Amino acid sequence: MVYMSGARDRIDGDVRIDYSPGVQGFVNNLAQDPTVVGLIARGVGLEAISVDETPASLTLEYPQHFSVGASIKVTPRLKTNIDIKWTDTAVWDEWNIQFEESVQFLGVLGAIVQSLDQGTTGGYLGADSLVLPRDYESVWTWAIGFEYQYTDRLAFRLGYEPRGSSIPEDKQDLFVPIGDTKLYSTGFAFHWSRDTFIEGSLGYVHSEQDIPSNGSTNSTSTAIDNFIYNPYAGYNMKTELKVIVGEISIRSTF
């Protein structure tokens, strides 16, 4: 049985915003609107600003984790290990980035977002902070492994772990581009001598996300009030992760 408590860490960095001609055109188009949105856009004065820079910080909470397992000797030479795990990723409901200096344009854009708000995403955009909605979920996962004692000195191992994603389908994006994941592993343990042990393993990880147009409020939404983080509005998006991991260790007493 293993328990790891949650923890908090403050991440400091810098934010730089370059106002491209496309952004200028966007604001100019909004300025033609006869409603309060146009009034706000006309007050931006973006032509005099090309770059905004400010120190920023994010307090990131690492989720607590719990796992429990059992090792069962099926036959004199075959052993199986079963683990059940829980990770409290629901603590990542939002990421709050604080700006040390005010970013005027983001404050104005935030006012525009609020005027259009239909309750699609949550989050917040302002001159002093940016709150990115995440809405992740805590998940239970399981894993199983087998060890076969081929000889008194050599054992072979196999493992499989399907990890359900903590990110709901309607919240998938590229911040954490990991969907449902499968881990396959194989390995060996060799008793080289009385005091020396050699162990090796090879693992393969595969994960995919398939996000249709308007399928995620964090990436492909077509909602008019989804300004905060929605980089591929209206597009179909797919991500794929493949990782091969190898490890070898030698333990000896002297």
Query: Over the chain, what HEC string results?
Result: CEEECCEEEEEEEEEEEECCHHHHHHHHHHHCCCCHHHHHHHCCCHHHCCEEEEEEEEEEEECCEEEEEEEEECCCCEEEEEEEEEECHHHCCEEEEEECCCCHHHHHHHHHHHHHCCCCCCCEECCCEEEEECCCCCEEEEEEEEEEECCCCEEEEEEEEEECCCCCHHHCCCCCCCCCEEEEEEEEEEECCCCEEEEEEEEEEEEEEEECCCCCCCCCCCCCCCCCCCCCCCCCEEEEEEEEEEEEEEEECC
How far is it, in rounded angstroms, from Cα 248 to Cα 199? 6
pLDDT score, position 64: 96
Enumerate the CATH 2.40.160.60 domain ranges in the chain, comma separated. Answer: 63-93+135-254
List, for the chain, all residue ranges whose pLDDT scores fall below the cut of 50: none
Both structure tokens of 152: 């008194």
How far is it, in rounded angstroms, from Cα 34 to Cα 39? 7
* Size (the chain), residues: 254
Both structure tokens of 94: 């939002």
**Under CATH, what is the fold of the domain 63-93+135-254?**
Porin (2.40.160)
pLDDT score, position 46: 54
For strand 78-87 and strand 65-73, is the pairing parallel, antiparallel, or unpaired?
antiparallel
pLDDT score, position 226: 82
| Residues 163 and 182 sit within 8 Å (Cβ to Cβ) | yes
Closest to 137 in 3D by CA, of 210, 193, 63, 66: 63
Amino acid in the structure at residue 110: G
Q: For the chain, how far is it from start to end, CA to CA, in angstroms?
A: 31
User: In angstroms, how far is CA 88 from the centroid of its own chain?
Assistant: 13
